[in-house]
Amino acid sequence: MIEFLRFALVAAVFAPLLGVLVIGLMVLLGDDRPTESRVAQVTGAGLAVSIIASLAVMAGHLGLIGVPLAGDVEFGAWLRVGDFVVPAVLLVDGVSVSISLFAASLTALIARFSRTYLHKEAGFVRFFTLLGIFATGTQLVALAGTLEIFFAGWELIGISSAFFIGFFHERAEPVRSSIRAFATYRFSDAGLLIATVATLQLLDTARFSALESAGGLPPLQSTAIALLFLLSAMGKSAQLPFSGWLPRAMEGPTPSSALFYGAVSIHAGLFLLLRVWPLLEVSLVARTFGVIVGLGTALYATAVVRVHTDAKGTLAHATLAQVGLILAEICFGWVTFALIHLICHAFLRLGQYLKAPNTIHDSHRLGHAEHAPSALERWSPRTASRLYAASIHRLRLDDRIDAAIAPMLALAGWLDRLDRRWRKAASLDTGAIEATAIKQLRS
């Protein structure tokens, strides 16, 4: 029986990716582009297997099939470099199986929706390929037994997210937004990577099951690692000051926005914190920091919701407010409540995102908001005006980040010019690089 459950675990994770590989082979080996129905069937089959396997694992965990399955499930070594071994371990517990089932079901629901929504769209195959990659990414994150495997899934989610934002790459704005999201991910993922290495160094293992012993670490070390995890979660879940990419992520097709920024991906950072909770629990500094960031983001997003005029941007910030709140709940230590809040919230937003284009229809049916001056506006118009400007400009977060990295970019530019000059001096480069027109105009 245990063999069956081990197989189910693997199937839950890799069935969607297998679907992607099959589609890839169809594209490579077939004469024509595979038909829409074939692509949707293959992806659907992968997701269906993932759901069934995930249900089986849940049944196994609850003891409905033989002995209850719980704890680390070993699959040997993932990577072996000399003495250094990265084990392939999946973790089965209440949290992992419920998140696994949750993510697989919502992804399948979106796949069903998108089959109709993306009919005749040029990027149909690309969309479903990315969906399959994302599904495997979420399963890896949900079921990972070690930080290394978690990181692999985390990156798959990140890369598919960036590609979905830039889905309509023939226009400039989606590409700009995609790069911004990707760069934010890269920056914050460094936190996860460093924390993983540090955990390995200090605990000799990066298993989640071993983090219980992290309480024994010196406070400085545990706090540093907890803060790094928090940094990573803040980037993925668009907490302040990384909130700027989230509204921009609305460039993709509606269903991917629903799945990523309404339901699953946006909550991934919170899930990371739930996984490393034993480490976070012991660090009062990190928890305080998390509460401040979470509540700050929640207030910020609530203020932005009030002024946003577009359906998807409003939803993005409404989602962000709850995500900030859940972050604060986690850091307060209300872990179970936070998990329930997270899942219920994802359920609610998924439907709201999918119905975002229905806004006009709804306003005909329900009527719309009347603009009455708020109490603040009556009391201090000037403060209200400043609050409005700060909200509609979203605190100019993107500009501030751009300004912060400007010196780095300037350094890169200087090095680039140096490089060119050196190559020219060494006559490695004969072509004229600078546009002559600019040279003439230079003072």
Partner 1 sequence: MSASHADALPADPVDRALARARGVLPDQGPIGVFIHHNTLHAFQHLPFHAGVQAGAAALGARPYLTLPQFRAALASGRILDADVRLEIARSLGAQADEPLLPGLSRAGLWHALMVSDSDTDDAAGLAFSIASGTAVECRDLPLWQACLARAAAGPGLTLPDTRQFPRHRDVLLALGAGDTDVAVHGELIRLGSGFLDQGQAHAVVPGREHGFLAAATQLYANGASAPRDCRGAEADMRQAAQNATPAGAIIRSTLAALGIKGDAIEPWLFAATLALPGWAGMFSRLERNPADNIGGPPVALEEFLAVRLLLERRAIERACAELGLAGSIAGDWTQLRAAVPPLPPRPAVLDAALLWRLAHEAGVAGEHIASLPDEALAALWRECAACTDLARREVFQNAYERSYREIILDAVAARQGLPGDAQAERPRAQFVFCMDEREESIRRALEEQHPGYITFGMAGFFGVAIDYMGLYDKEPAAHCPVVVTPAHEVHEQPVFTALKRSRLTTSLRNAWLSGERRARAASRTLAGGAGISLLLGPVSVVKTLLRVVAPRLSLKLGEQVAASVAPRPATRLSTIRIADQAVINDSGKPLGFSLAESIDRVCTVLNNIGMVRDFAPIIVFLGHGSTSLNNPHESAHDCGACGGRRGGANARLFADMANRPDVREGVRQRGISIPADTWFVGALHDTADDSVRYYDLEALPPGSAARFEEAYAALERARRENARERSRRYENAPLDVSPEQALRHVEGRSAHLAQPRPEYGHCTNSVAIVGRRRLTRGLHLDRRAFLISYDPTIDPENAIIERILAAVGPVGAGINLEYYFSYVDNETFGCGTKLPHNVTGLIGIMNGHQSDLRTGLPLQMVELHEPMRLLMLVDATPEALLAVAGRQPEVAELVVNQWVQLVSVHPETGAMAVFDNGGFVPYAPRPTLLPVVEKSPEWHMRTRAHVTPALVRAALPGSAVGPGHFGEPAMVDAGAL
Residue whose CB is less far from partner 1, 154 or 182 = 182
- Cβ-in-10-Å burial (0-12, 13-18, 19+) of 219 comes to exposed
Candidate ranges 49-57, 188-196, 217-225, 247-255; the one touching partner 1 (CB under 8 A): 247-255
Q: Which of 354, 336, 353, 352 is nearest to 98 (CA)?
A: 336
219 binds partner 1 (CB under 8 A): no
List C-alpha distances in Å: 296 to 184, 244, 285, 300.
Answer: 19, 14, 16, 6
Residue whose CB is less far from partner 1, 9 or 268 = 268
27 binds partner 1 (CB under 8 A): no
* CB 44, CB 109: distance < 8 Å: no
267 binds partner 1 (CB under 8 A): no
Site residues (CB under 8 A) for partner 1, limited to 362-381:
362-371, 374, 377, 381
Residue whose CB is less far from partner 1, 74 or 173 = 173
Dihedral sign for Cα 212, 326, 383, 399, please. positive
409 binds partner 1 (CB under 8 A): no
Question: Nearest distance from residue 305's CB to partner 1, in Å?
Answer: 5
Q: Report the interhelical angle of 172-203 vs 147-165 (nearest 10°).
A: 170
Distance separating the N- and C-terminal Cα atoms of the chain: 80
121 binds partner 1 (CB under 8 A): yes
Token representation of residue 110:
């979106």
The one among 252, 269, 290, 294 contacting partner 1 by CB under 8 A? 252
Site residues (CB under 8 A) for partner 1, limited to 92-111:
106, 109
| SS3 at position 243 | coil
Q: How far is CA 346 from the centre of its chain?
A: 13
Q: Which of 103, 194, 83, 224 is nearest to 153 (CA)?
A: 103
The one among 96, 129, 177, 239 contacting partner 1 by CB under 8 A? 177
- Cβ-in-10-Å burial (0-12, 13-18, 19+) of 31 comes to exposed
408 binds partner 1 (CB under 8 A): no
Site residues (CB under 8 A) for partner 1, limited to 337-356:
340-341, 343-348, 350-352, 354-356
Question: Nearest distance from residue 205's CB to partner 1, in Å?
Answer: 36
The one among 247, 269, 290, 294 contacting partner 1 by CB under 8 A? 247
List C-alpha distances in Å: 213 to 111, 209, 217, 415.
Answer: 41, 9, 8, 46
254 binds partner 1 (CB under 8 A): yes
| SS3 at position 73 | strand
Candidate ranges 136-144, 214-222, 251-259, 422-430; the one touching partner 1 (CB under 8 A): 251-259
Candidate ranges 18-26, 65-73, 136-144, 174-182; the one touching partner 1 (CB under 8 A): 174-182
Question: Nearest distance from residue 347's CB to partner 1, in Å?
Answer: 4
Half-sphere exposure for 69 (CA within 13 Å, toward CB): 28
Residue whose CB is less far from partner 1, 28 or 375 = 375
